[in-house]
Amino acid sequence: MKESPASDTAADPMPSWAEGPAKSAIVQFVQSVTEKGGKDYVPPEERIATFDNDGTLWVEYPLYPQLLFAADRMKELAPKHPEWKTRQPFKALLEGDMKTVGASGMKGFFEIWLTAHPGMTADEYAEEAGKWLRTTRHEKFKRPYVECVYQPQLELLAYLRAHGFKTFIVSGGGMAFMRPITEEVYGLPPWQVVGSSVVTEFQIKDDKADLVRTEFQIKDGKADLVRSAKIKFFDDKAAKPVGIYDHIGRRPILAFGNSDGDMQMIEYTTRAEGRRLGLFLHHTDGVREFAYDRQSYVGALDKALGQAEANGWIIVDMKSDWKRVFAFEEAE
């Protein structure tokens, strides 16, 4: 007997998804793993679904939101660092040359990320990140980043949770950057967000305990955590399964990404016993969003695109599989 929440008998729980192979694969998978007594049944406690964030749940183009956040911070600090005017990728960043910034790859991204916010406490960083995401507008959509999330994915997250799934973000983006808004935007509390992190210390300063670097230290009677310019964990590619194991402790049965950086998470999910589902979002809609894949400097989808059919992975075509990309499209 299938576990049937009220949403099954009501209106379509995923109205922004077009009828087609991708939506059918999701629905059939969920029906199969929730049918008690069925050969593919998975108990609720083992129904783990993991999602990448950048380019899978929200817009990552033309540059990752976290890098733009760091860029704004570095522009504030630039008067104290004249050397940045001649040093790449900082020079390109300060000049607004995002193509050159993007071409600097992960090495350049890390230099920017680690330079922008060391010394901030965890609470200070969370406050600044949350404020930035709620107020800074995307250059194309003219909407705050918290609104530049994909409506079909919000519906999918809700659909999975209605069927007993526990949903997690597993992203190369910084945990501290995402967590201030994931609960209000995705319904995901901080402990269901896995991502990259810097070394953090604990400190006490002015009678307040917090984290930074994130290292712990006590200063002037206040306990705090302070951010450093040292990488603790970069949650991308082969590190994603490691992050899942360390943080979640169970192998997902569904995983959704959009780039080659998500491939190992999809492989970890699908190369195991039992019914499993791996999906990649293919950015094919240059009008409603952006069109990019193999040669993109962010979110490149190349190797995974070529291997999807042989591995049984579902390629979700944004242009044809999504009737609507953003919630704000309805009001325009």
Q: What's the CATH code of the domain at 169?
A: 3.40.50.1000
Q: Is the pLDDT of residue 8 over 70?
A: no
Q: Indicate the pLDDT class of residue 9, thresholds 50, 70 and 90.
A: very low
Angle, vertex CA 210, rays to CA 208 and CA 211, nearest 5: 160
- 322 in the same domain as 291: yes
| d(C-alpha 76, C-alpha 248), whole Å | 37
Q: Provide the residue range defining the domain that includes 73.
A: 61-117
Instruction: Tell me how many domains the chain contains.
Output: 2
- For strands 193-198 and 231-233, give the pairing: antiparallel
- 66 in the same domain as 51: no
In-domain check, residue 97: yes
In-domain check, residue 111: yes
- 240 in the same domain as 109: no
Report CA torsion sign: 62, 296, 282, 155. Answer: negative
Q: 204 versus 31: which is more confidently predicted? A: 31
- 53 in the same domain as 68: no
Quote the mean pLDDT of the chain.
87
Angle, vertex CA 258, rays to CA 308 and CA 15, nearest 5: 95
**Tokens matching residue 329:** 């499209």
| d(C-alpha 30, C-alpha 166), whole Å | 13
**Tokens matching residue 189:** 């509390």
Q: Is the pLDDT of residue 308 over 80?
A: yes
| d(C-alpha 133, C-alpha 144), whole Å | 6
- 325 in the same domain as 180: yes
- 247 in the same domain as 155: yes
Q: Which residue is associated with the tokens 């020079």?
A: 91
pLDDT at 44: 98
Q: Which of 44-48, 93-97, 109-113 has the lowest mean pLDDT?
A: 109-113
Q: Which residues, 6+ apart, have CB-to-CB distance to 272 below 8 Å?
A: 251
- 282 in the same domain as 170: yes
- 290 in the same domain as 150: yes
- 279 in the same domain as 184: yes
In-domain check, residue 82: yes
Q: State which amino acid sits at residue 174.
A: G
Q: Is the pLDDT of residue 183 over 70?
A: yes
| d(C-alpha 222, C-alpha 194), whole Å | 28
In-domain check, residue 204: no
pTM: 0.88
- 102 in the same domain as 53: no
- For strands 193-198 and 277-284, give the pairing: unpaired
Q: Is the pLDDT of residue 54 over 80?
A: yes
Q: 296 versus 202: which is more confidently predicted? A: 296
pLDDT at 213: 47
204-219 burial, b if ≥16 CB within 10 A, otherwise e? bbeeebbbbbbbbbee
Q: Reduced to 3 states, what is the DSSP secondary structure of residue 295?
A: coil
Peptide bond before residue 62 is cis, with ω within 30 degrees of 0: yes
In-domain check, residue 37: yes
Q: What are phi and psi of 11, to 5 degrees?
A: -65, 165
In-domain check, residue 75: yes
In-domain check, residue 126: no
